[in-house]
Amino acid sequence: MRNKPDSAEFASGGTRHTVTRAQVEAAASRLPPAHSATFSKNRAWYALVGTGLHYVTDLVAEATGTKPSDVETARLALDALDFPVVCWAWGDLLTTGHPGHRVRSA
């Protein structure tokens, strides 16, 4: 079993910030889980913290008081902390993906 990292960095407005596992776990305890009445099909990326799914941007913002620059930044920070990160997909998202999340070729 690998050791879980204690902290990860993310960017917001061009500034680097640090988030810790303890901050994320505490934030998850304060936020309603995404699979509750707050669920929105307009949000695609979630992290599993304990038994609750939480929208990645809300989770990092609640944990640090700073909203990440974008969804990718939030999900990569949570992944770096070894939290499972999952994508909610249905319909066209399963076949073509989210237009904002596709790799752009130069």
Report if residue 29 sits inside a domain: yes
pLDDT at 25: 97
Count of domains forming the chain: 1
Q: How far apart are CA 43 and CA 106, in angstroms?
A: 27
Q: Are 100 and 23 in contact (CB under 8 A)?
A: no
pLDDT at site 3: 76
Q: pTM for this structure?
A: 0.80
The answer to whether position 62 is within a domain reads yes
In a domain, 104, yes or no: no
Average pLDDT for consecutive 10-residue bins of the chain (106 residues)?
81 92 97 78 85 94 94 94 89 74 60
Does some domain include residue 2? no
Q: What is the pLDDT of residue 41?
A: 67
Cα 9 to the center of its chain, rounded Å: 13
Place of tokens 């939030």: 74
Q: Considering the domain boundaries, does residue 101 fall inside one?
A: no
Question: How high is the pLDDT of residue 99?
Answer: 72
**Residue 102 in domain:** no
In a domain, 23, yes or no: yes
Is 53 within the bounds of a domain? yes
Task: Please give the residue range of the domain that contains residue 87.
Answer: 7-93
Q: Which of 30, 6, 28, 9 is nearest to 18 (CA)?
A: 9
